[in-house]
Amino acid sequence: MPLFILITVLSVAAVLVRLAYVRFKGPTSAGEKNPAPFSAAAYGKWLAGRIAPAFSKEALDKAQDIYRAWIKEHYPGPLKWIFVGFGASLIYLVASGFFFALFIGRGMFGLPLLGHVMLGGLFAASLALVLILRGRAYRPDQDEASVLESFACPVFKNLSGTRLRKFLFWTFAAFGLVQVATALGSMLPVFTFETQRVLVTIHRYSALALLLTAIVFLDLAVIPRRRP
Amino acid sequence: MKLKRGFLAVAVICLLAPWSWASATKPQKWTGSQTSPVHQIPLKDEFDQPIIPTEKNPLPFSAKYTCAPCHDYSLIRKGRHFDAMTAQSAGRPGEPWIWVDERTGTQLPLSYHSWKGSRNPKELGLSPWDFTLLFGRHMSGGGISEPGEKSGTSESRWNVSGKIEIDCLGCHNASRVQNHSEWAKQVLRQNFRWAATAAAGLGEVGGMASRLGPTWDIFDGPNPDDSEWAVAPSVKYNKSLFDAKHRAFLDIAYKPGDARCLACHATAPAAAKKFNFEADVHTAAGIACASCHRHDVSHDMIRGYEGEATDNPALAAEDFTCRACHLGAASSRSGKILPGRMGAPYPKHFGLPSVHFERLACTVCHSGPLPANEPAVVRTARANRLGIFGVANWTTESPVIQEPVYIRDKNGKLTPHRLMWPAFWAEVRGNDITPLKPDQVLAAAGDLLFPEKSATRILAALYDVVGPDGTPALVMDGKAFEMNADGGLDASPVEGEKKNGAYYWAVKKDGQYSPLIPDFDPANAEAAAAPEAGIQKILEALAADPAPGKPVLAYKSFLYQLIDNNLDKSESKNPAAPAPQFLRLKDGKTQPVIPDEEKRVIAALAGSDQTLTEEQVALVLKALGEKEHAYISGGKLFRLNDKGKLVAKDNDAAAPVAWPLAHQVRPARQALGVNGCTDCHSSGSDFFFSKVKGAGPLRTENVAALRASSFMGVGGLYHRLFGVSFAVRPIFKIVLFICAFVIGALLLIVFLVALGRLAGLIEKRK
């Protein structure tokens, strides 16, 4: 368990710092590029300066605008509720799962656990619908043959935004499947208690992978690329 | 001269004995032999002198000196069964000693260990002598029953009774003549130093130290002045056990047999029939108690609970937990423990989420009775005095011990517990509640706690009247009350009787009850002659009763009484009595032979194991001093309010005292959960929602009633919701399966398409 906490904290921090750095290095909304060479002090100052605005009303309004635009474009009409269910369940599952895993020694229990199980079902159903409805937007094209080449180090360097989004979309789906399958497996009287332990471990680590994938996807596909 | 020489010899022996005992023990190192030596050994008495069974008045054998040459008695004394007062680490709570006094309704859990809810005997003023008298029947000697020379108290009689040395044979005697009942009997007679000899069947012990004067000493020998009552204890050894060198054969078992352990540790449901009682699954598999509860010569015994290694680091305790034998353990003092010790099966626990292993002890699912609407009532050897057989019935229904109740242990795991509800009279000072000893209560309450006294005195007197073929009885409220051997009343139902509070005296013949005085017409002298002869006999018998007032009989408009030993019949000044009614005539007034309050108590407690009514409690509290006293029973504290009315309140002192249970372990197919999750997870499961009701000597509706979940410290509402969720879980699983199938199928398609494109097998759509 302490290993999982360590891995979680480090990996989430690394991804966030990396994404922030990419944004820092990118052009501003005014089209200005960040001057080279890299300055840690400048990066730190920029990062610190972003914390307060991130919790401002403007940021909230902006997030709502992004959300509405995303819904309007991808989930029009009643399909919106599929995305709402998907997003809400994902947020709850991530929040409850990681809160108890990181801060509560005995793990999840009580009503949060009941909610976790119930919303797990909603997440599974909404994920399946999202894949059915939106999967075609992320279908593999002929260029995907070069995807493997793109994975040469440094990671993602040669990967276009479109390819990366597709890759993240289906990776998210794969980890989602692991989540659903391990949850279902724990409920079936077919696995020994030792396998059950393994299932819980897989569930936990795949949840972390799913979270990281979701963060990168969100950054890449939803939030505007240009920094303020 | 002879006496003087004897004293000298004894003085020398007494001086040398401790030295010889201490120096005689040679540490034993195991050679690897798996056989135990035949114990054909000389028996020694408490002065380290050999016992010659053919001598006149030989002393009882002393385990301390008989075993000392090979076994370190001083080390053994520090062992689990003997160190209650001195133990550094008591470990997890065990069953307390329960001081039961039925007359005062006292059921007080005691322990020298600081276990929650148990009272320390020292705080109650119980000396080692008192404690030994109360509980020596199920103690193994040593410890407090073998106090030092200076620990005697004013009331103690150690010089008469002797001390109770560790009874090695009580556990290690493999002979079938080892008799726990004999042990209990000898302890009751205060024949402490003789008890081990008698119980082991080495000899026959007669006499009673309890009847001897306080100055009697073992050197005094037989009492020449009394051969019937105050007979000094003595032993006649079974000479067939000795060889020509006066060595006795002791059938010693290295590992005590289960019967020896069960003499003090047996537990069984109160409602169980012997033929139907299931032994522990380990016992059924041929595993003895001592196979798991092991120890070396230190007798520091492994109890086998999880976490014991923390409580007692000197023990290899983690090697002998359920998990260690059945699952193995990654590390322990003795290295990695492989599963399968003693053939323990390896459980797969199919479908059991691993959270159960983190939050539940193995015993939750595998030990004790399965949860039911209410916990089962069980009897334990030490609390209910089981396993002591004889003419007298030692076994008691009280205290009521209930199981299973699931409570978290110090590691936060749910563990099945037994519990009992304390009952005692107490002095209340602010928040301090100090129990009163039963004799303090009796002194203040007097006859209030003997409600059957009037009835039993009359019944005793009537025995002479009814003759040898009959038994006198009091018939009241549809029940017949007869005197029992203990001087109390036994109730049995009588068919066809009305429950209207009226009563009559009866005679029981051939199982049938008939009125002691049949209906007759007192006005008809001829017809009344025979009944009146009977009345005269009865009044003569009742006259011997020391109760105040002259016995008389009122019937119809007549009053019968004895005047100058003759039966006098006169017109009664009272209203006509429709049935013959015995009364007491005092100062010209008549009153019932059984006061109304006594009648109410007798009727209320008839056929019940309870011994007190609320009316009695109120009266006793007044007698004790109502402001500063209370009575605790059934999880409630009873006090008198400003209006003198008895009221019940919750109080911590009334909370139940619980201790974990480990046995009886059930077979896997009888484990909790074998039928699926809903064994526990349903909206009304007995596991979470059984009702635990307070039990105690007081007959009352005011008892604590708690849900099982409240003992667990979990939310009842949550577990009801969680239980309900299991009703839809099959559908939930199907939904999850369909979702997983859809997601998996789409992923597979994507993967195959990507693979096809990669291989050039699929062309991009135009």
pLDDT in tens, B243-281: 999 999 999 999 999 999 999 999 999 988 989 898 899
Q: Which residues on adjacent β-strands are paired with residue B106?
A: B101
A121/B747 Cβ within 8 A: no
A193/B743 Cβ within 8 A: no
Instruction: Say which of B350, B747, B764 has its CB closest to residue A141.
Output: B764
B754/A144 Cβ within 8 A: yes
| Nearest-angstrom CA–CA distance, B160 and A228 | 99
Instruction: Say which of B348, B354, B764 has its CB closest to residue A200.
Output: B354
**Residues of B in Cβ contact (< 8 Å) with A118:** 725
CB-based contact, A22 to chain B, within 8 Å: no
- B635-679 pLDDT, tens digit per residue, is 999 999 888 899 999 999 999 999 999 999 999 999 999 988 889
- Listed by number, the residues of chain A in 24-83 with a beta carbon closer than 8 Å to a beta carbon of chain B are none
**Residues of B in Cβ contact (< 8 Å) with A120:** 736
Q: Which residues on adjacent β-strands are paired with residue B116?
A: none
| Nearest-angstrom CA–CA distance, A93 and A73 | 26
CB-based contact, A189 to chain B, within 8 Å: yes
Tell me, what amino acid is at B484? Answer: N
Is residue B210 within 8 A of residue B204, CB to CB? The reply is no
Is residue B161 within 8 A of residue B191, CB to CB? The reply is yes
Which H or E element spans position B265? helix B258-265
Nearest chain B residue to A200, by CA: B354
**Residues of B in Cβ contact (< 8 Å) with A147:** 754
CB-based contacts of B469: which residues, under 8 Å, 6+ apart?
A: B509
pTM: 0.84
**Residues of A in Cβ contact (< 8 Å) with B714:** 110
CB-based contacts of A149: which residues, under 8 Å, 6+ apart?
A: A158
Query: Domain spans of chain A?
Result: 2-222
The region of weakest confidence among B25-39, B251-265, B703-717 is B25-39
Q: Which residues on adjacent β-strands are paired with residue B42?
A: B247
CB-based contact, A228 to chain B, within 8 Å: no
Q: How many C-beta atoms lie closer than 10 Å to residue B426's C-beta? A: 24
The pLDDT of B156-178, averaged and rounded, is: 93
Angle of the A2-25 helix axis to the A80-103 helix axis, nearest 10: 130
- Spell out a b/e string for B146-168, using b for 16 or more CB atoms within 10 Å of the CB, else e: bbeeeeeeeebbbebbbbbbbbb
Shortest distance between the Cα of B696 and any Cα of chain A, in A, equals: 35
Counting one residue from chain A and one from chain B, the pairs whose CB atoms sit within 8 A come to: 118
Interface test with A, best of B743, B753, B765 (most A CBs within 10 A): B743
Query: What is the pLDDT, as a whole number, of residue A106?
Result: 77
CATH code given to domain A2-222: 1.20.950
The residue whose two tokens read 């050897």 is: B381
Shortest distance between the Cα of B722 and any Cα of chain A, in A, equals: 7
- B276-324 pLDDT, tens digit per residue, is 898 899 999 999 999 999 988 889 888 988 888 888 877 776 778 898 8
**Residues of B in Cβ contact (< 8 Å) with A130:** none
Interface test with B, best of A108, A123, A163, A180 (most B CBs within 10 A): A180
pLDDT-derived band at A147 (thresholds 50, 70, 90) equals: low
Res. B401: pLDDT tops 80: yes
Res. B198: pLDDT tops 90: yes
Instruction: Say which of A135, A176, A192 has its CB closest to residue B350.
Output: A192
Query: B429: exposed, middle or buried (C-beta count within 10 Å: 0-12, 13-18, 19+)?
Result: exposed
What mean pLDDT is reported for chain B? 87
Is residue B257 within 8 A of residue B174, CB to CB? The reply is yes
Query: What is the pLDDT, as a whole number, of residue B720?
Result: 85
**Residues of A in Cβ contact (< 8 Å) with B671:** none
CB-based contact, B736 to chain A, within 8 Å: yes
Res. B223: pLDDT tops 90: no
| Nearest-angstrom CA–CA distance, B340 and B187 | 43
Between A146 and B590, residue with greater pLDDT: B590
The percent of residues above 90 in pLDDT, for chain B, comes to 44
Shortest distance between the Cα of B706 and any Cα of chain A, in A, equals: 20
Nearest chain B residue to A115, by CA: B722
CB-based contact, A105 to chain B, within 8 Å: no
Tell me, what amino acid is at B98? Answer: I
B353/A186 Cβ within 8 A: yes
